Structure 1
Amino acid sequence: MAAGAPPNPVATRVKILETATELFYRKGVHAVGVNEIAARASASKLSLYKYFPGKDELVRTMLAEHSDRIHAWLERRTADAPGGPARVLSVFDLLIEWFAQPGYQGCAVVNTVTDTRAEPAVAEIARRHLVRYRELLEARLAELPVPDAPALARHLLLLIEGASVVTAIDGEPAAGADARAAAELLVSAAVAAGTRP
């Protein structure tokens, strides 16, 4: 904000959330206090508490908005993928790209659930996050002749989340490619089963 310019409440809230998201992801929820967030966001603690009555509310808001951004990004970036199995696998292709980014430390949603010891409101946001993954996968699978799209979507979700955890621990993105290869086998087998006379 320029010196002498009136405060912009929307920009201040956004800056606090962006700062909290980055710090919580890099250091963990319990290692970051509101003083550090406010200082890094160039905001006062009073401003922070104006938008977020406490750290718990800030964590929940950050996580819900992060989940919304991830799912909007997945939908947008894979919407024009070619039809057939490639459309399902485009989700894996995008995630492999993400896992390979420098500084990738796993899924922020899973990390936050672990860090907060599955605090009920945070756990509910995480459950909804996973449901949205399954819904996206189910919608893509519904375009194919597979016998049980919901079950296959659950299997594919396990591959995605497993690859994310392994990548975060190993620091190498190879798990994403392995998950994609396994997903391709599962999808191909399901399509074959669904088209068998």
Structure 2
Amino acid sequence: MSITGTPHRVPMTPAARRALEAAGRLFYERGIHAVGVDLIAAEAGVTKKTLYDRFGSKEQIVVEYLADRDERWRADLAPRLEASESPKDRVLAVFDVARDWMDANGPRGCSMVNAHVEIGDPSHPAYAIIIGQKQWMLTLFTDLVRPLAPATADSLGRTLMLLHEGALVAHGLRIFPGALDHARQDAELLLTGIPAGAAESGSAN
């Protein structure tokens, strides 16, 4: 399902930023439904009135929380992609950055996946952030693999995303250690198995 439209965003004053940092930590650690506005205000050292003045609603705080996570993820990823020398290296860099990101920011797995469990309603303003982030990841993998295998880039992009997303879930559930490293190894095998000349033959079609 394609979600269109850009969710409304609010300007970040210093008080709003403190509130967002507190909300983000609480939402991720405890779950969105389990955290109320009173707790966010107390953790941020602001009044409940300030929260509503800055954000308008708890739903908007959730929008800002997920949008902020997405923006920080993309900011971490961009320089690593730019520094990679080949299409294959760029694909594998996504897994490397995801591993580093999870080590630093994601002991409970992907914030988007976790939020989707709680926000299943497409009318929720944060739903577009969640789905849009995953659509962006699918497009990213497809675009990164296209120089290697133009004729099968769509299929390979889906497979790479499945490896990536499955690893995020396994990491969050702590099914086994090194889930993202395992997914990276499988991605490398997948890319190594692309027939020689696939890019040239795909370009000629």
Pairing 1:16–2:19 present: yes
Give me the whole-angstrom Cα distance separating, in 2, the residues matched to 1:87 and 1:32: 38
Instruction: Give matches, 1:54-69, under 5 Å.
Output: 54-69=57-72
The amino acid of 2:116's aligned partner reads: V
Aligned to 2:167: 163
- RMSD of aligned alpha carbons: 2.2
Instruction: Give matches, 1:19-58, under 5 Å.
Output: 19-58=22-61
The amino acid of 1:30's aligned partner reads: H
The amino acid of 1:95's aligned partner reads: A
- Residue-pair matches, total: 189
Give me the whole-angstrom Cα distance separating, in 1, the residues matched to 2:157 and 2:170: 20
Give me the whole-angstrom Cα distance separating, in 1, the residues matched to 2:178 and 2:52: 42
Give me the whole-angstrom Cα distance separating, in 1, the residues matched to 2:152 and 2:102: 28
Give unmatched runs, 5+ long, in structure 1: 1-8
| Helix, strand or coil at the partner of 2:96 | helix
Alpha-carbon deviation of 1:71?
Answer: 1.7
The amino acid of 1:17's aligned partner reads: L
Pairing 1:130–2:130 present: no
Give me the whole-angstrom Cα distance separating, in 1, the residues matched to 2:108 and 2:26: 12
Alpha-carbon deviation of 1:94?
Answer: 1.4
Alpha-carbon deviation of 1:175?
Answer: 1.2
Aligned to 1:182: 186
1:171–1:16: structure 2 CA closer, same or farther, 3 Å change rule?
farther
Alpha-carbon deviation of 1:18?
Answer: 1.0
Instruction: Render the CA deviation track for 1:28-56: whole Å, top value 9, x for unaligned.
Output: 00111101101111111111001111111
The amino acid of 1:169's aligned partner reads: L
Q: TM-score, normalised by structure 2?
A: 0.83
Aligned to 1:106: 109
Pairing 1:139–2:137 present: no
Alpha-carbon deviation of 1:114?
Answer: 0.6
The amino acid of 1:144's aligned partner reads: L
Alpha-carbon deviation of 1:119?
Answer: 4.8
